[in-house]
Structure 1
Amino acid sequence: MNFELYGFGPALLAGAWMTIKLALCSLALGLVLGLAGALAKTSPYRVLRWLGDAYSTMVRGVPELLWVLLIYYGSVSFVRELGEAIGYPELELSAFSAGVIALGLCFGAYATEVFRGALLAIPRGHREAGLALGLSRPRILFRLVLPQMWRIAIPGLGNLFMILMKDTALVSVVGLNEVMRSAQVAVTSTKQPFTFFMVAACIYLSLTVLSMLALHFFEKRANRGFVRSAA
């Protein structure tokens, strides 16, 4: 079994770094969208609930690959016109930006349901106790609700992040040089598909293991001081 990389080692490492950046930026965007969606779906206002339902249903109903293509190609003319309007005709949406938006949008839709379940798992009495103490609703949200919500939501969010890490391969279709794109370029040049696809698989597996270790750390940290029921 030949694992000679034919000089493509640095390109694969650069692709791995691009995958990590893409995943982390998409995670940041997805967490914001997911939290906003969950708060909307649990809101007492019907319009916000409708918007939250529409976001999660519409985004989850379309494959991630289609979102990447729609956002990348669909925004080309819009960004160009915007650039001309503000005096920057060379303005364009990069493949990385399109990937972050698409993957963040999809992650946020699934995270909406994770956050929603975590919010509903918090006893209503905690909010009522905060009101009885004279806390404002924003303070109750940030000091009582969100810290408890994170502890409940972390396992589900961790699973979604592992899926997100592998979904970064979809952005290779618009030319982003992440792991899969780098591996495909190496395969085209060397005609050694097994070698480079196996290396790509090992890179993804390594990133997954690191993500699991980070998830374990965050779970342990979030559960500090929490005493589980013996029942």
Structure 2
Amino acid sequence: MNNKIRYTSNEIFEIFNEQHRLCSPLDFMADVSFVLTKKTLIYEWSEALDLLHWKKLAQFFNKEFKIEESLETWDSVLNPDDKRTLGDLCVFIAKVAEKEVVDPIKILGTECFSASTFLTLKRNLKNKGVDVANLRPSTKIEDFLDVDDNFSPLIEEITLTGVQVFDKLEYGKIKSERRYKYWIDKIVPNLIYKRSLTAGEIITFRDLVQKIIENKKLGEKA
């Protein structure tokens, strides 16, 4: 059973900063050049990152950080958005949310962080509605991200570790898929073009887990 401890406001800020760094280059509506600070106003943050309406954003935060704050409470935290800052938001979340501390599991009498980190990641993705039945350490990140709706849950879980894992995410080659929605399409199938996402040197979930562990150790020594 993993332990839980409180986040610091700085850790929450770094989570938002990392999400901006990774995701804004993939969204043509987002401002890649925008620099987040704790003094950034909520409305500035929302416009720069093309965020959801505050009510939807509140629901997202509840789900992401596994908390159950009311819309009334979130209204007081996020509004008025030309007065509230990102720093205010970070302080609030740090007071109500807890982060998971992954403990090693024993395999043949030896403590193994790799196994416990992978199993924790797999469990959390499943709790977010991701189909993890075939997820293995050897699963390729590109193949996983090729499935619709897998991107956001993975990015959430990776950034919640509190360490930088991906150097960058970028679009790779264009893939074509044949979709047979109707019988007529079996004669002339719809050809749908889809761009794959790559994660640089991190090819598999095994690579991903090792990167998380390595960067956590570096952070502890700093």
Q: Does TM-score exceed 0.5, indicating one fold?
A: no
Task: Give the helix-richer structure, 1 or 2.
Answer: 1
TM-score, scaled relative to structure 2 = 0.24
Q: Relative CO higher for 1 or 2, CA cutoff 8 Å, sep ≥ 6?
A: 1
Higher strand share: 2
- TM-score normalised by the chain length of structure 1: 0.24
Greater Rg over alpha carbons, structure: 1
